[in-house]
């Protein structure tokens, strides 16, 4: 049966049993969080090794930093009726020479639009990393991630492009202090406004 013909619980069950990428180094283990009532969507890249092992998206230092940027508690972050977490690839893709491999190309075409169609109340989409930007934004491929993020005010109130919160991006954050000074406070205010209503 086509994904768009499934009920939301049936779709989530089908994704949890997905084996499109049987050749993954640690095997398929889709990690996501979705509920039709969610108000905020986190569109990330793909789970890392640590989150794969734990079976919880963003349960790692990247998640701690992202929750800090958002100004929310762990309980709110993992409340599916508030926050949807849909990476571009639902499974850990493995490691390459310079870090984790990109999200697998099979995942988004198979599942993404059917899931997004079931999230009618999203007020803000946090777009984390280049792969998510290419899917969710009318992004100029010649622009760097930094250039996209620097134009953050053009995208609010509905979307906000972000760098990955990984500790690997500490150097980027030091080189771009405007992100912590300007973007993070605006993000916290927007999140608070959504979750308070």
Task: Sketch the domain layout of the chain as residue ranges.
Answer: 3-196
Q: What is the pLDDT of residues 100-121, one digit of tens each?
A: 889 999 999 999 999 999 999 9
The reported pLDDT for the residue numbered 138 is 72
CB atoms within 10 A of CB 171: 8
Regions in the chain scoring below 50 on pLDDT: none
Q: What is the pLDDT of residues 141-174, one digit of tens each?
A: 788 899 999 999 999 999 999 999 999 899 999 9
Question: Any idea which residue has 């986190």 for tokens?
Answer: 42
CA distance 104 to 188: 31
The reported pLDDT for the residue numbered 140 is 64
CA distance 82 to 101: 29
Architecture of the domain defined by 3-196: 3-Layer(aba) Sandwich (3.40)
The reported pLDDT for the residue numbered 97 is 82
CB atoms within 10 A of CB 148: 20
**Nearest partner of 42 among 32, 50, 30, judged by Cα:** 32
């Amino acid at each position: 049966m086509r994904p768009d013909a499934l009920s939301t619980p049936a779709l989530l069950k089908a994704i949890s049993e997905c084996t499109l990428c049987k050749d993954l180094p640690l095997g398929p283990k889709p990690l996501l969080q979705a509920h039709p009532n969610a108000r905020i969507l986190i569109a990330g890249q793909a789970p890392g090794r640590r989150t794969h092992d734990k079976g919880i998206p963003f349960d790692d230092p990247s998640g701690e930093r992202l929750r800090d940027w958002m100004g929310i508690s762990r309980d709110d972050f993992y409340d599916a009726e508030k926050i949807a977490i849909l990476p571009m690839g639902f499974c850990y893709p493995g490691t390459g020479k310079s870090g984790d491999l990109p999200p697998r190309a099979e995942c988004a075409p198979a599942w993404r639009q059917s899931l997004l169609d079931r999230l009618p109340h999203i007020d803000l989409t946090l777009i984390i990393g280049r792969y998510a930007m290419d899917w969710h934004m009318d992004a100029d491929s010649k622009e760097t991630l930094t250039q996209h993020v620097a134009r953050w005010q053009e995208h609010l109130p509905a979307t906000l492009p972000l760098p990955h919160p990984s500790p690997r991006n500490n150097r980027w954050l030091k080189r771009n202090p405007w992100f912590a000074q300007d973007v993070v406070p605006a993000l916290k205010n927007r999140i608070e406004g959504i979750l308070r209503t």
